[in-house]
């Protein structure tokens, strides 16, 4: 995983799959999906965030009663705009119409267009009383979601080691009454895992149950079961989604969302137990939590030597890793939220039931190991007009970490950002996630500068530069190293139904030369150019994307890659039926010159595969809605390679150059 999870909120574009047609605010973020996959190297489950944004399309947020936390769920609102909306309602009273958004300080036409599908204006009585149980059960919304994936090919593992059938299956149920109450469960069986047999005699391989109560008097939040936590800038607790480098400054801030439910099928990134936040006073709140959960891993001589994060239990060897250790965690946060100043203190203590002693290779020499650990941090935020300063300072059992951001919004069309981070090479923080080049806030220093301007009515430009260094070795880098990440993007919107985009990215990093055993390390240069055109005439949606990639390691020959993708989608005006077809042709010299392609997926998911070699990928989605009650979505995907006779390796090996998958999803709402 080469980068910190970045711009994850961009993935929420795929909540558009839950509509007959995409909303403009979601479409505007579509170009960043490939970037997300390219930067993370892996795609964790983000169903919770996608589901929340999709929920707002059907249950708009009332701006007259919206809290800061509720407004911050929208990725296209800056901190200044969130404060502007709340200040307008406080000073001028409740809005009578959404047109009043034009009078809010810091709001612009582009942001208002993005926000409109998710919000409404309704009168609100003084105070915000918790509803009665009778009202909750009468007006609460139920949603049941079932997914079934069938591969039309056989991987090598099914011939040798996999213990279960190849179809993937999951079930999700949720009951929700606005932001006040959310209850539900999830269950999942991965492909290759047994079902009501062997080590999965209980049925599904993974179950998740959650209960989340909000705004019940002084009780701001109460979570039972599975939940997630995020405070400050994520240097102590950040197992929620995190934002980072992208082609936009709108989502530059890490938004600590406090306590959230965990309803997704992610089998690693969550806490299990209880968590609560209480309002001590109007501006002061306190949170506390306790978690007790099992971890998959490998145990040798009584020590936990590795943690297994995939949640896959397809073979006997994988099944033996299940519940190898127990992890307990407890901590809390005290938070002061003033008009301009925010200060928070977060503390965390966690321990394993057996020593955690991974094999510390040279590049991992300073990674976390032991039995008992702690982290503590203080975060702060100050805003005055267009000026903003936020950051966090944290310490742990070993090392320390610091992050500071300075931003200035001259107007919605002119923004500047400066970020400095210092993450010690030996900073231990198991649950941290924040801004950076690496996947965790450890062994990294850097300065990031970015600017976003819109000097003309239909143009928007973005430019950024990140200069980073690694004080200790990294994976495939056998010495301290440094690098540069440069980006530029131009977006032109000649009219409402047409958007043209071009961006360029250059990254320089150092890497060991293959075959030298780390004795020779040379710079690598990675260039990527993307152009995209999106045209949406009426019920149609056309999008053409082309990428070119150039990868070169100093003194060695260059490798090239390119791809061209065409998307066509149509929503029938006379039937509740929507169709989309997409085709991609790709041709790359090797894995280093690989390309990423966003592809429409199922509800609350997204699919952005990496392609290397030469081949073609096509997919088709059909969605039918039976009123507001039922929805059926079917997707068929096919990939064919022209430069190989086999796909993959090991247990994932497919003997042939083609693979076809069918995915089906049924949703019931009542």
CATH code, 98: 2.40.170
pLDDT band, residue 361 (cuts 50/70/90): confident
What is residue 152's DSSP assignment? S
Average pLDDT on 452-460 reads: 91
- What confidence score (pLDDT) does residue 124 get? 80
Residue showing tokens 């003194």 = 555
- What confidence score (pLDDT) does residue 18 get? 35
Higher-pLDDT residue of 59 and 246 is 59
Average pLDDT on 474-491 reads: 94
On whether residue 234 sits in a domain, the answer given is: yes
- What confidence score (pLDDT) does residue 251 get? 59
On whether residue 3 sits in a domain, the answer given is: no
420 vs 433: CA distance, rounded Å = 15
Average pLDDT on 528-533 reads: 96
Please tell me the number of Cα atoms within 13 Å of 207 on its side-chain side.
6
Total domain count, the chain: 1
Instruction: Specify the range with the lowest mean pLDDT, choosing from 12-21, 111-120, 315-324, 546-555.
Output: 12-21
618 vs 369: CA distance, rounded Å = 45
Instruction: Give per-residue pLDDT as tens, 172-192.
Output: 999 999 889 999 999 999 999
Average pLDDT, the chain: 88
- What confidence score (pLDDT) does residue 127 get? 55
3 state DSSP class of 46: coil
Instruction: Give per-residue pLDDT as tens, 186-239.
Output: 999 999 999 998 888 888 999 999 999 998 989 999 999 999 999 999 999 987
- What confidence score (pLDDT) does residue 29 get? 44
- What confidence score (pLDDT) does residue 389 get? 93
Residue range of the domain that includes 72: 8-669
- What confidence score (pLDDT) does residue 47 get? 65
Element (DSSP H or E) covering residue 353: strand 341-356
405-428 exposure pattern, b = at least 16 Cβ within 10 A, e = fewer: bebebeebbebbbebebbbbbbbb
- What confidence score (pLDDT) does residue 81 get? 87
Average pLDDT on 12-24 reads: 37
Backbone phi and psi for residue 365, each to the nearest 5 degrees, phi listed first: -55, -35
305 vs 358: CA distance, rounded Å = 4
Contact between 403 and 421 (Cβ < 8 Å): yes
pLDDT beyond 60 at 601: yes
Instruction: Specify the range with the lowest mean pLDDT, choosing from 73-82, 93-102, 247-256.
Output: 247-256
- What confidence score (pLDDT) does residue 27 get? 43
- What confidence score (pLDDT) does residue 24 get? 44
- What confidence score (pLDDT) does residue 514 get? 86
- What confidence score (pLDDT) does residue 240 get? 63
On whether residue 1 sits in a domain, the answer given is: no
- What confidence score (pLDDT) does residue 607 get? 80
Instruction: Specify the range with the lowest mean pLDDT, choosing from 65-69, 212-216, 375-379, 548-552.
Output: 65-69
Instruction: Give per-residue pLDDT as tens, 124-174.
Output: 866 567 888 889 989 999 999 999 999 999 999 998 899 999 999 999 999
- What confidence score (pLDDT) does residue 42 get? 47
Give the total residue count for the chain. Answer: 670
Instruction: Specify the range with the lowest mean pLDDT, choosing from 98-107, 327-336, 402-411.
Output: 98-107
Instruction: Give per-residue pLDDT as tens, 607-657.
Output: 888 999 999 999 999 999 988 899 999 999 999 999 999 999 999 999 999
- What is the C-alpha R_g of the chain? 25
Q: What is the 3-state secondary structure (H, E, C) of 486-528?
A: EEEEEEEEEECCEEEEEEEEEEEEEEECCCCCCCCEEEEEEEE
On whether residue 459 sits in a domain, the answer given is: yes
pLDDT beyond 50 at 13: no
């Amino acid at each position: 995983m080469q980068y910190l999870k970045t711009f994850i909120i961009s993935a929420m574009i795929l909540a558009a799959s839950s509509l007959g047609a995409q909303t403009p605010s979601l479409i505007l973020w579509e170009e960043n999906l490939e970037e997300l996959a390219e930067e993370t190297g892996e795609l964790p489950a983000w169903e919770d965030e996608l589901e929340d944004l999709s929920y707002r399309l059907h249950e708009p947020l009332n701006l007259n009663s919206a809290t800061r936390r509720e407004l911050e769920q929208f990725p296209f609102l800056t901190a200044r705009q969130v404060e502007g909306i709340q200040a307008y309602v406080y000073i001028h009273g409740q809005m009578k119409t959404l047109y009043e958004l034009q009078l809010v300080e810091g709001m612009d036409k582009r942001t208002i267009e993005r926000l409109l599908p998710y919000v409404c204006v309704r009168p609100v009585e003084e105070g915000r009383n918790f509803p009665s149980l009778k009202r909750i059960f009468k007006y609460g919304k139920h949603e049941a979601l079932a997914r079934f994936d069938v591969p039309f090919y056989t991987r090598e593992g099914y011939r040798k080691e996999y213990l279960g059938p190849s179809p993937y299956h999951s079930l999700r149920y949720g009951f929700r009454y606005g932001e006040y109450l959310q209850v539900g469960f999830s269950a999942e069986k991965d492909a290759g895992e047994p079902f009501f047999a062997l080590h999965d005699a209980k049925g599904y391989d993974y179950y998740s149950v959650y209960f989340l109560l909000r705004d019940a008097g002084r009780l701001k939040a109460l979570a039972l079961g599975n939940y997630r936590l995020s405070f400050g800038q994520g240097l102590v607790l950040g197992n929620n989604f995190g934002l980072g480098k992208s082609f936009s400054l709108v989502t530059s801030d890490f938004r600590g969302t406090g306590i959230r439910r965990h309803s997704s099928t992610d089998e690693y990134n969550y806490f299990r137990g209880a968590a609560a936040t209480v309002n001590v006073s109007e501006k002061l709140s306190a949170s506390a939590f306790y978690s007790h959960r099992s971890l998959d891993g490998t145990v040798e001589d009584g020590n936990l030597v590795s943690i297994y994060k995939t949640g896959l239990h397809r073979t006997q060897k994988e099944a033996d890793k299940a519940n190898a250790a127990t992890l307990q965690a407890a901590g809390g946060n005290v938070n002061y939220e003033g008009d301009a100043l925010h200060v928070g203190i977060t503390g965390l203590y966690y321990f394993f039931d057996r020593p955690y002693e991974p094999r510390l290779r040279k590049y991992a020499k300073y990674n976390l190991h032991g039995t008992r650990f702690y982290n503590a941090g203080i975060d702060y935020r100050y805003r005055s007009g267009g000026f903003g300063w936020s950051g966090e300072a944290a310490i742990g059992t070993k090392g320390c970490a610091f992050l500071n951001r300075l931003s200035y919004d001259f107007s919605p069309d002119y923004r500047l950002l400066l970020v400095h981070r210092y993450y010690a090479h030996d900073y231990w923080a198991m649950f941290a996630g924040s801004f950076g080049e690496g996947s965790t806030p450890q062994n990294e220093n850097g300065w990031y500068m970015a600017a976003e301007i819109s000097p003309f009515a239909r143009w928007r430009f973005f430019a950024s530069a990140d200069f980073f260094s690694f004080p200790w070795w990294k994976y495939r880098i056998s010495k301290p190293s440094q690098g540069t990440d440069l980006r530029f993007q131009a977006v032109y919107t000649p009219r409402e139904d047409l958007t043209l985009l071009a961006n360029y990215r250059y990254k320089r990093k150092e890497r060991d030369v293959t075959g030298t055993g780390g004795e020779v390390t040379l710079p690598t240069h990675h260039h990527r150019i993307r152009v995209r055109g999106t045209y949406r005439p009426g019920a149609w949606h056309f999008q053409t994307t082309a990428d070119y990639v150039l990868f070169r390691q100093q003194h060695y020959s260059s490798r090239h890659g390119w791809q061209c993708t065409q998307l066509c989608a149509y929503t029938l005006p006379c039937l509740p039926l929507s169709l989309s077809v997409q085709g991609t042709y790709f041709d790359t010299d090797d894995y280093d010159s690989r390309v990423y392609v966003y592809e429409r997926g199922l509800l609350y998911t997204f699919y952005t595969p990496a392609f290397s070699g030469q081949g073609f990928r096509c997919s088709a989605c059909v969605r039918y809605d039976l009123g507001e009650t039922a929805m059926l979505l079917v997707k068929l995907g096919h990939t064919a390679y022209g430069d190989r006779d086999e796909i993959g390796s090991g247990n994932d090996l497919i003997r042939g150059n083609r693979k076809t998958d069918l995915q089906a999803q049924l949703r019931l709402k009542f």
